[in-house]
A = this chain, B = another copy of it.
Amino acid sequence: MSLNVEFGSDNHSGVHPDIMKAIIDANKGYSIAYGEDELTKSAVKKVREVFGSDIDVFFVYNGTAANIIGLKTVTNSFNSIICADTAHLNVHECCGPEKFTGCKIVTIPTKDGKLTPELIKPYLVGIDDVHMAQPKVISITQSTELGTTYAFDELKKLCSFAHKNNLLVHVDGARICNAAVFLKKDLGKITKDVGVDILSFGGTKNGMMYGEAVVFFDKKLTKDFEFYRKQGMQLTSKMRFISAQFNAFFENNLWEKNAGHANKMAQYLKNELCKIPQIKIVQKVEANMVFAYIPKKHLEKVREKFYFHVFNENACEARLMCSFDTKKESIDELINTIRDTIKK
């Protein structure tokens, strides 16, 4: 049996058939490049139907770019960006944010990947002191890199706190759909309505091939984005093929179905894991990932058959990801493998 990589990442899945169909359908005739095509207009319209007509939306290739170009658009190089120390933009973007924005990334330790006003307050120092980086943006991840989700009220409080302190709120929404499904809220409800200023809206991890969107809820912030996107190597020529994906993504609420399936599978996986006494769930399961403590000797055995990340090697915390096409049977197989391993 070859290594099963299904739980390694939601990026390990391929493309949802509806998305693929949209790509195939988009491959007709000639279109003006760089976004002046009909499919892009239609995709922008669809995003506006979700978030309101008073927003701006742009497409880029990937989530790292959505974060970095979005943040560059609203910062100067002497600013700081505040995030949880687990944030993708801190840990997994190879100091791309620092290089492209020049900003300091101020990192705050958290237990569950979630920032609060209380946690942030001590870091708001040196305002107007030219020696010190000037705080400009709070960047949160929704749902977080630890599989937890900010509740509606938490978001509202955080945004209100930010704005009172002249800070903007950016949401790394690589998995915003999973959060919306978990919270049973519309996408606009947990972003625009709570006061979020910029959203990296994820598609790839939820069934798309490539392509993410940057949504600006305050159009006054948008002005320079398109120049930074081009300068940041993120303007795709045949944009219709990203736009087609977003069109399908919003057609019949595909985004919701995909995220819903992933979340459901994560719950199932969690529940099955809970039945094994040696396993301990170490983070709330509020999206599509499960963090589970597996005793070291068993962990190593399981990894011989299943490929997944161990978030904290010393603590033996496995990160098990579900996606839009995670199979229940695969979960059962994983569970059985764990049980067998422990039995031996």
* A interface secondary structure, majority: loop
Residue on B nearest A98 in the bound complex, by CB: B98
Contact A133 B32 (CB under 8 A): no
Contact B307 A32 (CB under 8 A): yes
Bound Cα distance from A236 to B205, whole angstroms? 12
Contact A11 B230 (CB under 8 A): no
User: Residues 176-214 of chain A: 1 if any B CB is under 8 Å from the residue's CB, otherwise 0?
Assistant: 000000000000000000000000000011000110000
**A248 part of interface (Cβ distance < 8 Å):** no
Contact B61 A233 (CB under 8 A): yes
**A253 part of interface (Cβ distance < 8 Å):** no
What residues on B are CB-neighbors of A77 within 8 Å?
Answer: 95, 98-99, 228, 231
13 contacts between A and B (CB under 8 A): A4-B30, A13-B30, A23-B23, A34-B130, A61-B210, A64-B230, A64-B235, A80-B95, A94-B132, A96-B232, A99-B102, A131-B235, A204-B237
Query: Could you list which residues of chain A lie within 8 angstroms of chain B, going by C-beta atoms?
Result: 4-6, 8-9, 11-15, 20, 23-24, 26-34, 61-62, 64-65, 68-69, 76-80, 90-96, 98-100, 102-105, 107, 126, 130-134, 204-205, 209-210, 224, 226-238, 240-241, 307
